[in-house]
Amino acid sequence: MKRRTVVKGLGAASAVPAVGLATGSARAASRRPADGPLLFDPAAYTEQTIGITDTEGVAHEVVYRFHKVASYVAKPVDATYQSLNISVPVRIDGAAVDAADAPILFANSVGGYMPSSVANKTGITATGMGGATSRQGLALAAGYVVVEPGARGRTLVDANGTYYGTAPAAIVDLKAAVRYLKYNQGRVPGDVHRIASCGTSAGGALSSLLGASGDSPLYEPYLREIGAADASDAIFATGAWCPITDLEHADMAYEWCWGSNPLASGALVDRTVSGELSSAYGPYLASLKLRARGFGALTARNLDDYLLKTFMRPSATKYLAALSDEARAAYLAAHPFLTWDGTEATFTWADFLTHVGARKKNAPSFDAFDLSTPECNLYGTGTTAARHFTLYSLRHAAGDSAHLDEDIPAKLHLMNPMYHLVDKVNAGRSRHWWIRLGTKDSDTSHTVAGNLSARLTDLGDDVDTSYYWDAGHGADQDPGDFIEWIASVSGHRHR
Ligand code: DHB
């Protein structure tokens, strides 16, 4: 028996609880008994209507099917997190749309490496930060299928005090969700070979990791353990906003970048710690063997010049070019460090750092000596809430003969896209990349996104990287362009 609940809403705020969802499991069981739980049932959905305002300010009425998938794995550890929702447009502004072959936006909502659940959502998340239309909303109004996966996160702890969402749980879950879609190719709406992932901050880190590590065998035991579908977890395109990644090198990178910037209090961080970490960044950077056109090998000596010329100056140039003559003159008068020749903005790296001002984090920024940072919790295990994951911080805390726990190195690889792009160049990676970061974002070093972009470019992938001038953490200033980019790289005719 199939029941459909047709819900007519009046706008983004009108999402109505999905009731009477048919699971389809009886029919699925007769078709594929062994894999019943992982079969998608196209007939189980609620139909909803939503108002979505596009980036031009034009309002659209979208009728869509909202599918709730109770779990994307056969053996969920916690289905509250290991579930996903699929939204499929059927009518846009009164015209029927067929999303059967449309690109799929795979939008994670991870923040802070925390657990993220979509289990209680009763419709697509069409509005994002500050009430603006979310990437999901824009994608739906463009005729794409939107998948919103939940994932376990670092703070989850069971009745025995065991942490069950620490590394690598979140990436394993996102991979399992992709596998679910690919396993259901032909049953699930949308083109599973045109999955574009997106996420912001920790979600951007996981999105870039999902893109970099597609089909890597390293995750196999973890995927098997939760009963993930037997299918590929490679994705077609990757969007990453302010990715907080390359964590085990992020303390060094942070001091290389922001070491001379004061904290909000005006104080500088410990000069010895900052200096030691910053000095250690050079050898790490050298080990990546990054190259960039016009710069040759990227080293701790020319990386500032690379970042300045490749990202920061073009970012300021774009910003200033878009201003009215009056507004530009006012900005330039207020920021004399910046020179404008009528077409291009120029300034030095040192002046750029001064312009950014206060750094957000103390040193070490990620592997704090007192284990207080989110990342120490991310590398917790068993009943241990937080652990050191760099030798530098561990030895600072526990003495020079201390060694990282045995499982840490492998877990670092499972969480770091750079590992899959440098140490083991992964053929299953995504080949289309959209990377964005605000120039005033000091949640991590500017080198993190810059190095990711440099490496991918060097590998010959299609990379679109841009920094938003004067924007802080989590900014997304060109969400409509991202939606159009998905159409362009996937060969989909954009509406
Ligand atoms: C996020 C921000 C951080 O500064 C961090 O260290 C980890 C995650 C976030 O916003 O997701």
User: ∠ at Cα 47 (42, 51), nearest 5°?
Assistant: 130
Work out whether strand 59-69 and strand 84-92 pair parallel, antiparallel, or are unpaired.
antiparallel
Q: Where are the beta strands (DSSP E) in 28-81?
A: 46-53, 59-69
Q: Is 437 helix (H, G, I), strand (E, B) or coil?
A: strand
CA 111–ligand 1 middle distance (angstroms): 7
* pLDDT number for residue 10: 29
**With a 6 A CB cut-off, is 458 part of the ligand 1 pocket?**
no
CA 200–ligand 1 middle distance (angstroms): 9
**With a 6 A CB cut-off, is 443 part of the ligand 1 pocket?**
yes
Cβ-contact 212, 237 below 8 angstroms: no
CA 443–ligand 1 middle distance (angstroms): 7
* pLDDT number for residue 139: 98
Cα-based distances in Å from 127 to 13, 107, 451, 472: 9, 13, 31, 19
Q: Which fold would CATH assign to domain 46-246+416-490?
A: Rossmann fold (3.40.50)
Establish whether the linkage from the previous residue to 314 is cis, with ω within 30° of 0.
Answer: no
Neighbouring C-beta atoms of residue 248, cutoff 10 Å: 25
Domain ranges of the chain: 46-246+416-490
Crossing angle between the packed helical segments 247-258 and 391-398, to the nearest 10 degrees: 90
Rounded Cα distance, 329 and 458, in Å = 38
Work out whether strand 339-340 and strand 345-346 pair parallel, antiparallel, or are unpaired.
antiparallel
Ligand 1 atom closest to 111 (CA): 11
**With a 6 A CB cut-off, is 244 part of the ligand 1 pocket?**
yes
* pLDDT number for residue 357: 98
Residues 6 or more apart whose Cβ sits within 8 Å of residue 245 = 204, 205, 208, 209, 415, 416, 417, 418, 444, 448, 452
Cβ-contact 411, 379 below 8 angstroms: yes
* pLDDT number for residue 8: 32
**With a 6 A CB cut-off, is 416 part of the ligand 1 pocket?**
no
Rounded Cα distance, 293 and 282, in Å = 20
Ligand 1 atom closest to 360 (CA): 4
**With a 6 A CB cut-off, is 445 part of the ligand 1 pocket?**
no
CA 373–ligand 1 middle distance (angstroms): 10
Neighbouring C-beta atoms of residue 15, cutoff 10 Å: 20
* pLDDT number for residue 36: 73
Nearest CA to ligand 1 atom 5: 112
CA 481–ligand 1 middle distance (angstroms): 24
> For a substitution probing ligand 1, which of 116, 201, 254, 375 has the most ligand atoms within 8 Å of its CB?
201
**Single-letter residue type at 451:** N
Of the candidates 286, 326, 315, 318, the one whose C-alpha atom is nearest the C-alpha of residue 303 is 286
Nearest CA to ligand 1 atom 7: 112
Nearest CA to ligand 1 atom 4: 443
* pLDDT number for residue 494: 57
- Token readout for 254 is 């942070």
- Enumerate long-range contacts of 405-414, CB under 8 Å, 24 or more apart: 405/381, 407/381, 408/379, 410/218, 411/167, 411/168, 411/379, 412/247, 412/248, 413/218, 414/167, 414/168, 414/171, 414/213, 414/218, 414/219, 414/222
State pTM to two decimals. 0.93
Q: What is the mean pLDDT of each run of 10 residues along the chain (495 residues)?
A: 33 34 38 66 98 96 98 98 98 98 98 98 92 96 98 98 98 99 98 98 99 98 98 98 98 98 98 98 98 97 98 98 98 98 98 98 98 98 98 97 98 98 97 98 98 98 98 97 97 73
- Token readout for 84 is 């996903």
Cβ-contact 151, 169 below 8 angstroms: yes
- Token readout for 158 is 């069971």
Rounded Cα distance, 196 and 107, in Å = 8
* pLDDT number for residue 3: 34
**With a 6 A CB cut-off, is 480 part of the ligand 1 pocket?**
no
Rounded Cα distance, 287 and 299, in Å = 10
Nearest CA to ligand 1 atom 2: 112
CA 475–ligand 1 middle distance (angstroms): 13
**Which helix (H) or strand (E) covers residue 198, if one does?**
strand 195-200
DSSP category for residue 245: -
**With a 6 A CB cut-off, is 202 part of the ligand 1 pocket?**
yes
Rounded Cα distance, 438 and 442, in Å = 9
* pLDDT number for residue 141: 98
Max distance between CA atoms of the chain, in angstroms, equals 73
